[in-house]
Amino acid sequence: MEHTPRILIIYTGGTIGMIENAETKALEPFDFSHLIDNVPKIKMLEYHIDNIQFTPIDSCDMGPDGWKDIAHAIAENYDSYDGFVVLHGTDTMAYTASALSFMLAHLDKPVIITGSQLPIGEVRTDGEENLITALQIAAATDYNGDPMVQEVAILFENYLWRGNRSTKMSADNFNAFKSNNYPELAKIGLGIHFQEKALRRPNERRPLHVATNMDRGVITVDLHPGMSREALHHILNTPGIKGIVLRTYGAGNAPTTPWFLEEIKNTVDSGIVIVNVTQCVNGGVHSRRYVSGDRLAKCGVISGHDMTSEAAITKLMYLFGLGLTPSAVAARFSVNLCGEVTL
């Protein structure tokens, strides 16, 4: 007897779940218990689809508490479904995808995150296509019958991207996301064409382990020309901070003025972990290529290599959330945990 795919949709909010009120014309979240009424094409998939509807929030308000709720929903239903589709606002989607990739250790089922630029109730919506394609990817299997995707991924318009490699690139275009330093997991055209060499496969099958304690004591600092010592000192000495993602120029470069390097070294020596991530959308940090980057490394700053800022900040939150010491966090940060970095 042919297996009927069982997919769980988790709705957190965002544009995709909005529909126009017939009377007021205002956009409001639609009731996902009537999903088929709003997206009748789903019936053609012949899947068993259930849904969990959180209280909808703007994705700008998404953070560790919301990530914990999503992770728990997946863990509690893990054995009952073949795959999971998370509907999410686009603004912080890449952060959520990155966070979940760390929180859901030993994941061997698809967690496909999608959303839309236009509400699903709009005539020209991209939401309907994104939702249906996400469901198809969540149900897809290889020739062994195993899930084709066994990781957290973002599906948007024509591409499936690794979640912890993705960044929102456009506020206006339907192809809003891209992974600049890792190839697409699948390209969507007349069919869904998986890039099997790019897909992550666990080395061994182990039970799903969920780590939901994400430490908030981390910040991102963007360098810019003309930054004063007073401003930098104030930021680096923010009370309660354990880790900093320092977004630098080019291949990981920063000012070489003595006061700047002194502030950085003092911060590292105080036990705060600083990670060097480039502001560029392509490429990564090459600490030894230029003197300015080399001096940061000599101050104890850790290379983020080609990680996205979203992956770097959530990885720090995850590692500190495990209760690790700063030195242990620094050591673990340099390890590829779930495909987030090229080493």
- Beta bridge mates, 86: 10, 113
Cα–Cα distance, 171 to 176 (Å, whole number): 7
Please, how many CA atoms are within 13 Å of residue 276, restricted to the half-sphere of its CB? 28
Does 6-210 match 218-333 in CATH topology? yes
Active site residue 267: no
Through-space distance between the first and last CA atoms of the chain, rounded to whole angstroms: 45
At 310, the amino acid letter reads: E
**3 state SS of 329:** helix
**pLDDT given for residue 20 in this prediction:** 73
Q: Using the 8-state DSSP alphabet, how is residue 54 labeled?
A: P
Cα–Cα distance, 256 to 184 (Å, whole number): 37
Task: Please give the helix or strand (H or E) that residue 328 lies within, else none.
Answer: helix 326-333
Cα 80 to Cα 8, 17, 73, 86, 87, distances in angstroms: 9, 24, 12, 16, 19
Q: Using the 8-state DSSP alphabet, how is residue 288 labeled?
A: T
What's the CA angle centered on 19, arms 13 and 21, to 5 degrees? Answer: 125
CATH assignment of 6-210, among 3.40.50.1170, 3.40.47.10, 3.40.30.10, 3.40.50.2300: 3.40.50.1170
CB atoms within 10 A of CB 25: 7
**pLDDT given for residue 223 in this prediction:** 97
Cα–Cα distance, 197 to 103 (Å, whole number): 24
Give the contacts of 2 (CB within 8 A, at least 6 positions apart): none
Q: Which of 4, 12, 15, 141 is catalytic?
A: 15
**pLDDT given for residue 35 in this prediction:** 66
**pLDDT given for residue 174 in this prediction:** 85
Give the architecture-level CATH label for domain 218-333. Answer: 3-Layer(aba) Sandwich (3.40)
C-beta separation of 268 from 301 below 8 A: yes
Q: Record the tokens describing residue 48, joined without a space.
A: 């068993």
C-beta separation of 175 from 159 below 8 A: yes
Cα–Cα distance, 138 to 18 (Å, whole number): 22
**pLDDT given for residue 1 in this prediction:** 63
What global pTM score does this model have? 0.94
C-beta separation of 339 from 151 below 8 A: yes
Q: Which of 112, 184, 181 is nearest to 150 (CA)?
A: 112
At 97, the amino acid letter reads: A
Residue spans per domain, the chain: 6-210, 218-333
Cα–Cα distance, 217 to 214 (Å, whole number): 9
Instruction: Spell out the per-residue pLDDT of the chain, length 343, in tens.
Output: 688 999 999 999 888 877 777 788 777 777 766 666 778 888 899 999 999 999 888 899 999 999 999 999 999 999 999 999 999 999 999 999 999 999 999 999 999 999 998 887 777 888 889 999 999 999 999 999 999 999 999 999 999 999 999 999 998 888 889 999 999 999 999 999 999 999 999 878 899 999 999 999 999 999 999 999 999 999 999 999 999 999 999 999 999 999 999 999 999 999 999 999 999 999 999 977 767 778 999 999 999 999 999 999 999 999 999 999 999 999 999 999 999 999 7
